Chains A and B, each alone.
Chain A
Amino acid sequence: MFVNRKAPYGTVYALESLEVVLISAAFEQDVSVVFVDDGVYQLKKGQQTKAIETKNFSPTYRALEGYDVEKLYVERESLAARGLTEIDLIVDVTVLGAIELGKLMDEQDVVLSC
């Protein structure tokens, strides 16, 4: 499981995490991806990065399905705190409350967080 807690362009964590997810999928790992805190901003619809001269990597989240990465989870509390709902997101996700998410983390073999 990869846990994303950082917004997409202020630092390189989000892009690096996405690349590691794709690499893991290429090695046929059973991957889950979680978006918590500012990490939910990675999935915000409508990102336009031309003027900041940075690659918009948000369409890549839609390609994850093609790599059999289909377990995407977003924490409900993080969305609500940022005035967002599932409709604002670029991909279909499973929205979980903090308690459910905590239980899911407990079940994982390996958790990498950034």
Chain B
Amino acid sequence: MLHIVNKSPYERNALDAVLRIAQSGSLLLIEDGVYAATRGSTAEARLAAAMPRLKVYALLPDLEARAIADRVIAGVTPIDYGGFVDLVAAHRNCQSWL
């Protein structure tokens, strides 16, 4: 399953829910969700702990818009909109966690 998170981990608990529940597949961070992908953040360790189970992506246009594209955690793959479409097509199902 492709799990999509669009809220900041500091404002909502959607990311924590995904990291607790999702056992395999991919996690795509978009919109304010991309703040979780930054080095030195309190979300970094939690995200890193899930990486053996989940492949993690972040939407590059959203990273760039928020001026954090230069501080993405190692192991998180930045993707463009075309990559977003490819990810959706590559997974059997997806869940947008609001």
Contacts and interface: CB of A to CB of B under 8 A. Distances in A.
Interface of A: 3, 5, 13, 36-37, 75, 77, 98-99, 101-103, 105-106, 108-111, 113-114
A106 B1 contact: yes
Given A98-B21, A101-B21, A113 B93 contact: no
Interface stretch (B22-30, B34-42, B64-72, B81-89): B22-30
Contact of B93 (A3, A36, A77, A108): A108
A101 B20 CA distance: 10
Interface residues of B, number: 16
A5 B98 contact: yes
Contacts of A105: 1, 21-22, 95
A5 B21 contact: no
B93 A37 contact: no
Contact of A109 (B20, B23, B93, B96): B93
Contacts of A98: 20-21
Contacts, number: 44
Nearest to A103: B23
Contacts of A110: 93
Contacts of A13: 98
Given A5-B14, A105-B95, A108-B93, 9 more contacts: A37-B17, A99-B21, A102-B22, A102-B23, A103-B23, A105-B1, A106-B23, A111-B94, A113-B98
Contacts of B98: 5, 13, 113-114
Given A5-B14, A37-B17, A106 B25 contact: yes
A37 B18 CA distance: 11
A99 B17 contact: no
